[in-house]
Amino acid sequence: MKVLVTGATGQLGSALLKQLKNTNYEVTITSRRKPDNLNFDWVYSDFLTGEGLEAAINEMDVIIHTATSPRKDSKIIDVSEFGNFLNMCQHIKHFIYPSIVGIENIPMKYYKHKYQAEELLKNSSVPHTIIRATQFHRFIESLFLSKPFFKKYFVPGNFRFQSVDVVDFANHLIKMIDDGPQGIADDFGGPEILTLREMADLKIKVNNESNNVVSFSFPGKLYKSFLEGKNTNEHKKVGKLTFEEYLRNKGK
Ligand SMILES: NC(=O)c1ccc[n+]([C@@H]2O[C@H](COP(=O)([O-])OP(=O)(O)OC[C@H]3O[C@@H](n4cnc5c(N)ncnc54)[C@H](OP(=O)(O)O)[C@@H]3O)[C@@H](O)[C@H]2O)c1
């Protein structure tokens, strides 16, 4: 079976490539940058312009679409060019689309675009699986930026997260290849729900840091949605590796 992974240089893309090395799928990967230590055929493509996409999907059976651009040009890359890409995918037997838990209830531009992309896929004739995950552990870690002078993490400490290991999620996606198209699959959440303050305290403990946590709040719907844990799903604690285990494994 021929499998294309888009976004091969990204966090999820890289995790997929490591795991796919141990399978018998004929894997091709695509991105703008060429990944290091290339084990698979690589095709250049750009979701901003559409360049290289036809060539990348030629003869493919399955696509795992991890290319995304949360910060820049998301409306084009994650929605309009994504729609054009789907039109090219009429021969694809299974299009696997990773998305994010709770996006319809969290007022962020990127999440709105992800939701629009889900709708495009749902309304297309391409056989697909939409699988939503909670935030990856590394994303949470990236929120803890200490100002060296202050030795403090300034975070909205009451936000709730259920972060998940990207390798756990990658393995789940690979298993889905053979399961075939499921439409909307069950959410893939991390093993525990913690506040951001609790997660910052874990980082301080595990790394023996001298930082303190300073928690702040702000008005509005965005704050409320993370406070209420709209980005979590307590009924789907599927991932195995906890945030603390992730932090401890990093040094090894
Ligand atoms: N991060 C999280 O916490 C999280 C949680 C749940 C679900 N997800 C979902 O998982 C998927 C992967 O997320 P990620 O965190 O792994 O993303 P990421 O690390 O930001 O990687 C994005 C990938 O997209 C590629 N890309 C960006 N712009 C492109 C363009 N114009 N043309 C072609 N490729 C482009 C990048 O490669 P080049 O720059 O080399 O082109 C990179 O490989 C996304 O759908 C995301 O919504 C993420």
> How many domains, the chain?
1
Mean pLDDT to the nearest integer, 226-243: 98
pTM (2 d.p.):
0.97
Higher pLDDT, 161 or 36: 161
100 lines ligand 1 (CB under 6 A): yes
DSSP-assigned beta bridge partners for residue 138:
none
Mean pLDDT to the nearest integer, 98-124: 98
Model confidence pLDDT, tens digit, residues 135-181: 999 999 999 987 767 789 999 999 999 999 999 999 999 999 999 99
Parallel, antiparallel, or unpaired for β 160-161 and 194-195? antiparallel
The shares of helix, strand and coil residues in the chain, as percent rounded to the nearest 5, are: 35, 20, 40
Give residue 232's pLDDT: 98
Model confidence pLDDT, tens digit, residues 212-229: 999 999 999 999 999 999
Mean pLDDT to the nearest integer, 102-124: 98
Give residue 110's pLDDT: 98
For residue 216, give the CATH number of its domain: 3.40.50.720
CA 65 – ligand 1 centroid, Å: 9
66 in Cβ contact with 97 (< 8 Å):
no
Q: Which residue puts its alpha carbon closest to atom 26 of ligand 1? A: 67
188 lines ligand 1 (CB under 6 A): no
CA 111 – ligand 1 centroid, Å: 13
11 lines ligand 1 (CB under 6 A): yes
Residues 6 or more apart whose Cβ sits within 8 Å of residue 125: 90
Q: Which domain holds residue 156?
A: 2-250
Structure tokens at 34: 């060429």
With left for phi above 0 and alpha for psi between -120 and 50, is residue 197 left, alpha or beta? alpha
